[in-house]
Structure 1
C-alpha cells in the first residue's frame, strides 16, 4: 500500500514538472523574439547552468574552457575595383590606419582585387547574435564567422555604432556556445582577466593579465570621427556622442584580437577588446576593452529599435585638474566645468548654468569625462540621471531628464563651441585678472586644450597660450572667435598672442577647410 502511494506521488511530481517545463518553453518560444540580449542569456543559463567557479589567482583553466568555444574568428571581404572598401577609400586617416595596423585590416590600394581582413567576435545568444567592433566589419561586402569547431556561417550586420566602436551580427544557427555576460561595474583594478581572440591570424588564443585601470579615454573614437559630435559628455568642451571609457589591461592583445572577449576568472564577459597602445601596431603592454555594461545597452537598442537610442544631458564641458583650475582661478581641481548649456536640453530644464562644476553622477564622484560618458551612454531619451554640481562653492543636486536628437537642432542655427573646437582643434577660457596684469593686456582667451592632430596642435600652439587676436580682431570671448574666423582672407589664419613661457606669438597659417 505504501509503495502504491509512493508510486502515485512520484508520477504526479514528474507529470507536474513536465507540464511546468512545457509551459515555460511555450512562453519562451512566443516571447523570445522580443527579448533583449540579457533576457535571452538568463533563459539560456537557466536551462544550461554554468559550472565555472573562480579560478583563483593562477589557474585559468575553467574560465578558458568555458569561454573559448563562444569566441569566433571573423573574416571580412572588401570588393575590388569600384567598391568602397576599407583599403581603397584613400582617406589618409591615421586612426583608420592605426586600426588596420592593430587588428589586421587591409592596407594600401586594393582597387584592383578584393581584400580581406580579420578580427574576433563573441557569441552572446545561442540563436546566433555576435558582438564585435564596428571597425572590424565596417564597409565589409561579406562577413564570415568561423567557430572553434570549424563550422562557418555568413553573418549579416544587425547594427553598427561608430560612437562606441560596437557592432552586432547575426548568423542563421541555433544551439551555439554562449559566453556569459558579466557586470563591468564590479570590475576591480588589479583583478585577473583573460583576453580571448584570434590574433595575428592564429587560431583561438588565450592570454592573461590584470585590469590596469578603468574609465580610460585614449582619443581614438573622438579623433577618427569627421562629423561634429554632440551629446551627453566628452573630454574638452566639444559636445560628443563618442563614448570612451575603456577597461585597460596588460593581457597581451594584438592584430586580430579586435572584437574578442575580455573575461574574468569566472568566465564572464566584462569587455570587448578594441584597441592597443603601441608605436608599432603590436602588443606593447596595454590593451583597451569596451565595458560590457555599455555593450549590453547598444546590443539591445539594435534588437529592439534597429538603431542606438542615445540620451543627452545637453552641456558642453571640460575636465578640471590642478593646472587648469589654477589657470581659471577655481578652487575645485576635479570634476567637469560646464562651458555652455544647450537651449532646450535636459540640463537647462533642470536649472544648470555655464560655470557649474559637475562633481558626481548618480552619487559617484566624477574624476574624468569618461565617468559621465559611460553612465549616460547606457541610458536612453527620457531616462533620468542624478547630477551633483558646485555653484558659488555650494553643492547642489538635480535630476536631469535626458533628451534625444531633437535638442541637437537648437545648436545648429548658430556657430557653437563645438564647431570652433572642431575647426581649430582647441578649447578656450577667459584670461584671469592676474594674467592681464602680468602681461599688460586688456583681454584674451587661454588655450585650455589643444587636440592631437588639430589645427592648433599641428602648428605648435600649446595649451596655456593666450590668444589676443585672430585675423587682427581682438579676442575676449568665444563669440569673438566666430567673427574673426569669418574675416579670414585667402583662407589664412593670423594669430597673435602670448606663449606659456611669456614670449610673443605671431603666426600665419592656412585655415583647414
Structure 2
C-alpha cells in the first residue's frame, strides 16, 4: 500500500524555490493564444502533433509562487532542505548552500513553486492544489507572458487537495480553460500535462491514461487518474488535458524513488474537482453529504457468512451517534449495495458517493439485511457538522466523522455501557468498558466463548471505553501485522479473563 504521508516514494509535485533558482532559466514569453484551440486529428498511432493544442492552452496555465515567514532558532524553525535526486549534479551545491543556513535565529522566508490554471477569466478564478498554497502568507500568480498578480485565497479542501484562488481580472486580460468529462476518459486515451516542473515554467508533456480509480491512500476520496505523461516537482496543481483542450484532471502526486518522473503520476479527476470547486466558490468551504456510518470492505468470508453470493458493497460496522441514521433506518451488519441509484461495488465508493450528494437530500439506500434486500429513505446530514461533533466530544472521527454509538467487528456487536445496558444484562456498577450486545454464531468471537453481556475492558493491554476505541485498537493491531487480538473481558459481576480472537 502506498502511504499518503510524505515518503521518498509518493511525492507531491511541489518545488522549493531554492531548487527553482538552480534549474530555472528565463522562459520565452508566450504570444497571446487564440480563444479556443481546435482538436487535432488523432490516429491509431497517437496525435500527429499537439503543437496547436498546446499553443491555445499555455496562456491559461500559471505558475503559483508562495512565501511563508517562519521563525528561525536553535534546533527549530530552520529552513527545510529541498529533496534533490540522488546523484544530481546540483547535490553538492545544495549541501553547501544550506549547510550554513541551518539553525540561525530571526525570521526566515520559505518559498515554493507549483502550478495552477484559470477557469473563469471574467471573475479571475484559478484552481490549484491545496498543498501548493497551504500555510502561505503570500500567493503570487505568474503568467506565461511574464506578468504577475497577487492572489487571494477563496477556499481550500484538504480531503481532495483542491484550492481555489482569485486574482483581480481588471489588471490583466486572462485566458481560461474548462473542465471536461473525466468519466468518459478511457485507459489508453491520450492526455497532455502543462505545468511548472522544477521551476522551469510552462512545460508540455504528453502521455496516456494508464489506469483509473486509483486509491493511493492520499485521502478519504481517492479516485485518481494515473498517467505516464511526465509529471515532476512543481507540476502540482497543473491541469491534465484531453485532446480537445478540456481539463480532465488536476495533477497532484507522483510515485518516484528519485523525486523525478518515472511515468507514474496521479491526477484528481475533473468529475470530483468540479463539485468541490463549485462549493468553494459559493461558500468558501465544502458542504458534503453525511450518512453517519462506519464501514468496512465485504470480503469473500464475510459475504459467505451473510449469505451473499458475491462480495460487494460496504458493510456497516458502526452507527454514528446522533447521525442521520441513528434512528434504526440502517443497522450494524447491513451491507449497503446501492446509494441514490449508484451501485456500490467496493466499500470505498460509498464515502465518495455520499460526499458528492447535497446536504439535506432524501436518498434511497439499498441494503442487504439478513439476506434480504431492503430499501430505506435517508435524509443526509452535513459531514462537516459530524466532524465538529466528534471534535467537540473529544472523539476521533469515524469513516464519516462523529462518535460511534454501536459497532460490529470479529463477529461481535458492541456498544456503550450505558445504564440501560447495565440493566438489560445485569452488569455491576463497578464494571467499565464496552459491552458486547450480540455475538454471531460461528464467528471468531463465538469460537472463543464470548457472549452477549461480556464487557471488553482492554485490547492488547490498553483500556477501552467506547466502541470507537475498540475499532481503532483492532485497526492498529492489523496495521502492525498482528493476526490475533488479546482481549480482557469482564463478566457481569466483574470477573476478568483473557481471550485471543483471530483477526484474519
TM-score over 0.5 for the alignment?
yes
Name whichever of 434-443 and 391-400 sits farther off.
434-443
Whole-angstrom CA distance in 1 between matches of 2:302 and 2:259:
33
Q: Compute the RMSD of aligned alpha carbons.
A: 4.4
Q: Deviations over 1:480-513 (max 9, x none)?
A: xxx9xxx9xxxxxx99736679xxxxxxxxxxxx
In structure 2, the partner of 1:78 is 68
In structure 1, the partner of 2:212 is 214
CA contact (8 A) 1:76 1:137 kept: yes
CA contact (8 A) 2:239 2:247 kept: yes
Aligned with residue 485 of structure 2, among 462, 467, 479: 467
Whole-angstrom CA distance in 2 between matches of 1:302 and 1:62:
33
Cα deviation for residue 388 of structure 1 reads 2.6
Q: SS of the residue aligned with 2:120?
A: coil
Q: Deviations over 1:193-247 (max 9, x none)?
A: 22221112222222222223322221123xxxxxxxxxxxxxxxxxxxx422222
Cα deviation for residue 317 of structure 1 reads 0.5
Q: SS of the residue aligned with 1:180?
A: coil
The answer to whether structure 1 residue 497 and structure 2 residue 495 are counterparts is no
Gaps of 5+ in 1: 1-46, 91-95, 99-106, 222-241, 476-482, 488-493, 502-513
Q: Deviations over 1:63-92 (max 9, x none)?
A: 323322211111111114269xx97699xx
Equivalence map 1:260-275=2 (5 Å): 260-275=238-253
Q: Which has the higher helix share?
A: 1
Q: SS of the residue aligned with 1:456?
A: helix
Q: SS of the residue aligned with 1:259?
A: coil
Cα deviation for residue 450 of structure 1 reads 10
In structure 2, the partner of 1:354 is 332
CA contact (8 A) 1:337 1:355 kept: yes
In structure 2, the partner of 1:418 is 398
Task: Give the alignment's TM-score, normalised by structure 2.
Answer: 0.66
In structure 2, the partner of 1:125 is 120
Q: Deviations over 1:330-351 (max 9, x none)?
A: 6441211011233443345682
Whole-angstrom CA distance in 1 between matches of 2:500 and 2:327:
38
CA contact (8 A) 1:182 1:268 kept: yes
Equivalence map 1:98-137=2 (5 Å): 113-127=108-122, 128-137=124-133
Equivalence map 1:364-383=2 (5 Å): 364-383=342-361
The answer to whether structure 1 residue 429 and structure 2 residue 410 are counterparts is yes
In structure 2, the partner of 1:392 is 370
CA contact (8 A) 1:74 1:119 kept: yes
In structure 1, the partner of 2:162 is 166
In structure 1, the partner of 2:22 is none
Gaps of 5+ in 2: 1-33, 85-97, 413-439, 461-469
CA contact (8 A) 1:350 1:398 kept: no
Aligned with residue 188 of structure 1, among 186, 189, 201: 186
CA contact (8 A) 1:350 1:399 kept: no
Whole-angstrom CA distance in 2 between matches of 1:410 and 1:267:
43
Aligned with residue 257 of structure 1, among 228, 235, 260: 235
Whole-angstrom CA distance in 2 between matches of 1:69 and 1:258:
17
CA contact (8 A) 1:276 1:286 kept: yes
Distance 1:156 1:369, change over 3 A: farther
Whole-angstrom CA distance in 2 between matches of 1:97 and 1:298:
31
CA contact (8 A) 1:350 1:400 kept: no
In structure 1, the partner of 2:145 is 149
In structure 2, the partner of 1:301 is 279
Cα deviation for residue 455 of structure 1 reads 4.3
In structure 2, the partner of 1:491 is none
In structure 1, the partner of 2:38 is 51
Whole-angstrom CA distance in 1 between matches of 2:77 and 2:39:
42
CA contact (8 A) 1:466 1:499 kept: yes
Distance 1:440 1:214, change over 3 A: same
Whole-angstrom CA distance in 2 between matches of 1:81 and 1:109:
10
Cα deviation for residue 384 of structure 1 reads 4.1
Count of residue correspondences = 395
CA contact (8 A) 1:215 1:370 kept: no
Q: SS of the residue aligned with 1:293?
A: helix
Whole-angstrom CA distance in 2 between matches of 1:308 and 1:110:
40
CA contact (8 A) 1:74 1:145 kept: yes
Distance 1:439 1:338, change over 3 A: closer
Cα deviation for residue 123 of structure 1 reads 0.8
Task: Give the alignment's TM-score, normalised by structure 1.
Answer: 0.65
Distance 1:181 1:474, change over 3 A: same
Q: SS of the residue aligned with 1:374?
A: helix
